[in-house]
Structure 1
Amino acid sequence: MRLTWAQPEDLLAHELVQSAAEGRDVTAVRERWVAAGGDPVPAVSGAGPVPAPPALRTLARELLDELAATPAPASPAEPDEWEAIAALLPPAPQLAGRPDDDACRERLVGAWTGRAAGCLLGKPVEKIPRQGIEEILRATGRWPLDRWFTAVGLPDDVAARWPWNRRSAPTSLEENISGMPEDDDLNYPILALALLERHGHGFTTEDVAQLWLDHLPAGRVFTAERAAYRNILDARPVPGTATHHNPFREWIGALIRTDLLGWVLPGDVRAAARLAWVDARLSHTRNGVYGAMWAAALGAATMVCDSVEEVLDAADAAVPPASRLAAAVRRGREAGAACDGSEPSVRGGLDRLHAAYGDLHWVHTLNNAATIAFALTAGRGDFGASVSIAVTAGWDTDSAAATVGAVVGGLLGADGIGEQWTAPLEGRIATSLPGGEQRITDLAERTLALAVPLAAAVTP
């Protein structure tokens, strides 16, 4: 059995990259691994093509422990503890507080719907690189992207060269969509809702871990979450759950978990970021945590702001300003501001992002955060344009478009998203979490019940 995102030989290849990014000297470990016959190149998917023999797998575990025992240089601009992070954050903006129930409900339905629609658009091409997405779209007469993907008319050679995501294609192409199929990008906000209903806004990281064990099937977690899940079962305490044999600790997993933590704190980006930190530290460090804080701040701002630019400005206050995440967001926003929305201009903006972040894995936080910022800025508040740009960037297509869709959907409300994107969802989201399939309107009502006035939010 080849278990993705878990085999020691696969983890080590990714850890060599992550440790080097944190400033460790990995030269000796890499040389020992290669000399023993190990492959130092990280797998694009969750597991390499050839299982390692027992001796090599044992060595991989030893080398993972050796890297973990090697101290990383101090990084004052990128701390992990909340007090140190908060000391670096700029003053929080003074935004409007919680809207009345009708207005808040409209935005929440829009945010849930937009998140689902954006995710669904990106699902069939998850793991397909940018050039493959373009070739598929050109071959089916849909370039530039402005509607759902289709296999109708796709030549066999293109389909063979760029195979659809095998889990998603049966439920996320134009010809077979019937409601929102299950996806971790929707499971996590549903789980966050259950977390708040169980514990309120004062939940702890240990509460998050317990809820995972109670509600989240192990087969529905990936990358950093899979490593953290293993560490929880191994009885490792927080924050060791985020670091032990977890080379994915700065990847996008935490970012996709936390926008609901902002939806329930309309206008309070700092309080939203604090809740996201509590959640994210179970599985992530540094920029992986900041990505979660930024997503929650985007969620808080989209409940009260009037434009994408206002949302992005507000969310900047939730990210350490000298961090690599802050630089990625700035880069995305700058590229988006220079984009006029035309196909050549979008291409040029994405070229800039790929030149800066093309060496990162497609599930990393930095490249995807830059994509989200670019798509939001270049999309100028148009739902279809925004999520389409996020998908054609070609990294974590469904996750990036889900976050973009939630922001724009929250600003516009479901009616402003457009029937083209909302009708196929049929107002429902499939999930293997307890309770099964969920109605979007029901999720919005449950979220509304937890949304507190600005004055009621307490930010330590």
Structure 2
Amino acid sequence: MTYQEYLYKTYAAWLGKIIGIRLGAPVEGWSAEEIKRTYGKIHGYIVDYDVFASDDDSNGPLFFVRALEKCCSKDITAQEMGDNVLNWLCDGHGFFWWGGEGIATEHTAYSNLKKGICAPSSGSCEVNGKDLAEQIGGQIFSDCWGYVAPNDPKLACNLASKMSSVTHDGDGIEGGKFVAVAIALAYELKDIRKIIDTALTYLDPTSSYVKLCQDVITKIDEHPNDSDYVLQWIQENHGYDKYPGVCHILPNTAIMIWAMLYGHNDFDTTMNMLCEAGWDTDCTLGNVGSIMGAMVGLEGIDEKWTRPINDVLLSSSCMGSENIDTVSSSVRVFTELGWRLQGKDVPEKYLRDRSRVDFLLPRSTGGMRINKHRYFEANAVNCDETLKIVVNNAYPDTVGKVYLTTYYKPEDVYDARYEPSFSPIVYPGEKIHYTVSNPEHLPATFCIYMKDDQGNMYRGERQEISEKTTLSLSLPTGDYVVCECGVEAYVSERVMRTYFVIHEFYKDNTAAYGIDFSNLSMEDWGYDFGGVRRSAVRGCVTHHGSAYTDQSGLHLDGMISFGDMFSQVQEISLEYDKAYEDSVSIVFDMCGYMDYKAICVHEDVIEFVTKRNGVSKSEKRVFENTNMPKITLKIDRLRDRIMVYLGEVEFSFDSCGLSASKGAVGLICEDPKDCVILGCKLGCSNFQ
């Protein structure tokens, strides 16, 4: 299997996962009878989400697999995977359901890890009890281990077993193994019955999980043409009332097997049947969508499923810029790690580059949208690794826009049940580029533009284009949020049945901007999964504690982060309330909560802290407290030195490991007394 074949197969599987989540989300927790009474037969999406916000079922695979980024080895340990969980999650909100310790399995396991209970004890029956350990979460996040182990079910089983043990035990682990192994097998096998039968051989034959699956298979074999009878049998013998906990793994596994076998290798039939069966629909459909997607490939998935997604994938990790992504970009996280596990180099053409949007994968749009209207009727079509903007009909003196959303506000997404928090993916001071061509000689001029959070537009020069041309715009430095970057097409004559082409979008990571926290608004994100209303500081992610802004600045008791995870910060200046006398930490090169560098200013000590995999090392400088309200860091990556300026006082730290590191920026004030941050200025260099 070539890398391109592997990438395309994994892309189909990952799309299947996203499709399943989107299809199942509206009826999550419904019974089959309720779905039948309300919707009747399901033939596709039942809610038009437009921009679908984050979901735990996609959060898990995308970020749990990143344990391999730090330890890309088949011998990675469960504890290393547990450290990765602590790295990517906010504490107590977002990512998955925080239903309370002893109630929500993942919440309980996260708390165990925080307390120092290492994996696999963190998810064990001994620590958490059998009922909690065998809920569905051991299975629903496990797709990624199949993605990184194509045609290698043994490896998929091994990796899934370790990760599932971080949060689950018993049948919770068996379910994680089953999903991963089935996906690994589906890269080669083309018959779902063979995939299921073979996957079960990798599980503990004495487990309740295997026994349940075999019982369902036997019942289906006895009634090959009566799916309704078997579904009723499952409901009566393996319903939620037969198992403990909030959402047990076994009832949902039973209907997964039922739908896959009665679906007869057809993606549409399988997914629609499973949605009609109810229970934990986004979870079951996500897993089955992965398995079926890997098996049938992109050609077996109708465009009615992929078109509404528009290639957009939003998440709710603790790293805001990584929460805005696309399906076609994020799938390369899996394939690059899977290829590296095989000891192979990824072809340069397909390397994931977060400063660039391409259209290399079929049906990918890079999340681009068209501001179309009755006088500019257009659609975007992926064609030959480009995005063709098909202009069906446009009137003279009209303007059409093709754009990328670079920051999502609450009104831009359908809901916020899993508390997405975003930092922009483009910043003031950067230079943005669109490569465009006009092979049909459309009578139009084109210009690149940027729109900020206040609705202000910044435009480049309008140009006539025929051949492939790069339009560029240097964004002004300043205190604003970049929300949209796009291309405007000014049509001068009536045109029909024509097109122009977007080849790529890219940016230089040279941000230079300031944040006046007194002018930075709070965003109302509405209700989360538990019905709690949430607000957040625009462009920032609160990892833990509280953060809010008012006319005096940012009030912080905890930790927030902001900025691009793939930039190299060169200078940071921070102004804070000089009446505040406790410690303030400026975090930089942040790649998660367990991985960052920081300068901490205490009452009479300045400390340089390096945190790697949760282990901190520090170097201190003692000084006479001058109670200065401003701190400036100058980060010299060539000389591997940090200069710290506190008023007229200057300190330096050498051999800091700066040359290749990169990451976002954050602030920490860990004291019950309120800290007020007035403003922050940053300057970055081009890393990629």
Tell me if TM exceeds 0.5: yes
Cα distance in 2 for partners of 1:424, 1:283 equals 33
User: CA offset at residue 210 of structure 1?
Assistant: 1.5
| Match in the other structure for 1:402 | 286
Cα distance in 1 for partners of 2:117, 2:4 equals 44
Structure 2 residue corresponding to 1:197, chosen from 59, 69, 75 = 69
Q: Say if 2:326 is the partner of 1:439.
A: yes
* 2:79/2:120 contact within 8 Å kept: no
Q: Say if 2:107 is the partner of 1:226.
A: yes
* 1:339/1:378 contact within 8 Å kept: no
In structure 2, relative to structure 1, the CA distance for the partners of 1:339 and 1:454 (3 Å cut) is farther
Q: Say if 2:21 is the partner of 1:122.
A: no
The letter of the residue matching 1:440 is V
* 2:78/2:163 contact within 8 Å kept: yes
In structure 2, relative to structure 1, the CA distance for the partners of 1:370 and 1:124 (3 Å cut) is same
The letter of the residue matching 1:412 is V
Identity of paired residues, percent? 23
| Match in the other structure for 1:58 | none
Structure 1 residue corresponding to 2:140, chosen from 252, 256, 279 = 256
User: CA offset at residue 447 of structure 1?
Assistant: 1.9
Q: Say if 2:116 is the partner of 1:235.
A: yes
Q: Say if 2:424 is the partner of 1:424.
A: no
SS in 2 for 1:296: helix
For residues 108-149 of structure 1, give each alpha carbon's deviation from its aligned partner in whole angstroms, at most 9, with x where no partner exists: 111000001011111011112222111111xxxxx2211222
For residues 217-268 of structure 1, give each alpha carbon's deviation from its aligned partner in whole angstroms, at most 9, with x where no partner exists: 2323332111101111222233331243454201110111212111211112
SS in 1 for 2:323: coil
Structure 2 residue corresponding to 1:275, chosen from 159, 164, 168 = 159
Structure 1 residue corresponding to 2:88, chosen from 215, 232, 248 = 215
* 1:250/1:285 contact within 8 Å kept: yes
The letter of the residue matching 1:370 is A
User: CA offset at residue 346 of structure 1?
Assistant: 2.8
Cα distance in 2 for partners of 1:284, 1:192 equals 14
| Match in the other structure for 2:168 | 284
In structure 2, relative to structure 1, the CA distance for the partners of 1:346 and 1:113 (3 Å cut) is same
Cα distance in 1 for partners of 2:311, 2:9 equals 15
| Match in the other structure for 2:534 | none
Q: Say if 2:45 is the partner of 1:148.
A: yes
- Within a 5 Å distance, the mapping from 1:339-354 to structure 2 comes to 345-354=226-235
For residues 62-107 of structure 1, give each alpha carbon's deviation from its aligned partner in whole angstroms, at most 9, with x where no partner exists: xxxxxxxxxxxxxxxxxxxxxxxxxxxxxxxxxxxxx222221221
Cα distance in 1 for partners of 2:43, 2:233 equals 22
| Match in the other structure for 2:550 | none
- Within a 5 Å distance, the mapping from 1:100-179 to structure 2 comes to 100-137=2-39, 143-149=40-46, 173-174=47-48, 177-179=49-51
Cα distance in 2 for partners of 1:205, 1:453 equals 19
* 1:250/1:287 contact within 8 Å kept: yes
For residues 24-60 of structure 1, give each alpha carbon's deviation from its aligned partner in whole angstroms, at most 9, with x where no partner exists: xxxxxxxxxxxxxxxxxxxxxxxxxxxxxxxxxxxxx
Runs of 4+ in 1 over 6 A off after TM superposition: 453-457
Cα distance in 1 for partners of 2:260, 2:220 equals 8
The letter of the residue matching 1:221 is F
* 1:133/1:394 contact within 8 Å kept: yes
SS in 1 for 2:279: coil
User: CA offset at residue 430 of structure 1?
Assistant: 1.0
For residues 416-442 of structure 1, give each alpha carbon's deviation from its aligned partner in whole angstroms, at most 9, with x where no partner exists: 210111111111211012311221111
Structure 2 residue corresponding to 1:450, chosen from 319, 333, 337 = 337
User: CA offset at residue 453 of structure 1?
Assistant: 9.4
In structure 2, relative to structure 1, the CA distance for the partners of 1:372 and 1:456 (3 Å cut) is farther
More helix by share: 1
SS in 1 for 2:136: coil
| Match in the other structure for 2:679 | none
SS in 2 for 1:320: coil
* 1:114/1:414 contact within 8 Å kept: no
| Match in the other structure for 1:82 | none
The letter of the residue matching 1:186 is S
| Match in the other structure for 2:57 | 185
Cα distance in 2 for partners of 1:106, 1:221 equals 28
| Match in the other structure for 2:199 | 315
* 1:339/1:349 contact within 8 Å kept: yes
* 1:259/1:298 contact within 8 Å kept: no
| Match in the other structure for 1:72 | none
The letter of the residue matching 2:136 is I
Cα distance in 2 for partners of 1:362, 1:380 equals 31
Cα distance in 2 for partners of 1:112, 1:268 equals 18
Cα distance in 2 for partners of 1:455, 1:203 equals 14
RMSD across aligned positions (CA):
2.2
- Point out which structure has higher relative CO (alpha carbons under 8 A, 6+ apart): 1
Cα distance in 2 for partners of 1:257, 1:312 equals 18
User: CA offset at residue 452 of structure 1?
Assistant: 4.3
| Match in the other structure for 1:40 | none
In structure 2, relative to structure 1, the CA distance for the partners of 1:190 and 1:339 (3 Å cut) is farther
For residues 247-303 of structure 1, give each alpha carbon's deviation from its aligned partner in whole angstroms, at most 9, with x where no partner exists: 420111011121211121111212211111111111211111111111110121112
The letter of the residue matching 1:380 is H
Cα distance in 2 for partners of 1:350, 1:398 equals 18
Cα distance in 2 for partners of 1:376, 1:453 equals 31
The letter of the residue matching 2:215 is R
* 1:192/1:261 contact within 8 Å kept: no
Q: Say if 2:278 is the partner of 1:389.
A: no
Cα distance in 1 for partners of 2:11, 2:338 equals 13
Cα distance in 1 for partners of 2:276, 2:183 equals 23
* 1:113/1:406 contact within 8 Å kept: yes
Cα distance in 2 for partners of 1:419, 1:236 equals 46
Cα distance in 2 for partners of 1:195, 1:180 equals 26
For structure 2, which runs of at least 5 residues remain unmatched after alignment? 98-103, 345-688
Cα distance in 2 for partners of 1:234, 1:264 equals 30
In structure 2, relative to structure 1, the CA distance for the partners of 1:339 and 1:195 (3 Å cut) is farther
Q: Say if 2:271 is the partner of 1:369.
A: no
More strand by share: 2
The letter of the residue matching 2:22 is L
User: CA offset at residue 310 of structure 1?
Assistant: 2.5
The letter of the residue matching 1:354 is Q
* 2:138/2:172 contact within 8 Å kept: yes
* 1:332/1:373 contact within 8 Å kept: yes
TM-score normalized with structure 2 length: 0.45
Larger radius of gyration: 2
| Match in the other structure for 2:498 | none
TM-score normalized with structure 1 length: 0.67
In structure 2, relative to structure 1, the CA distance for the partners of 1:306 and 1:182 (3 Å cut) is same
User: CA offset at residue 374 of structure 1?
Assistant: 1.3
| Match in the other structure for 1:327 | 211
SS in 2 for 1:248: helix
In structure 2, relative to structure 1, the CA distance for the partners of 1:235 and 1:362 (3 Å cut) is closer
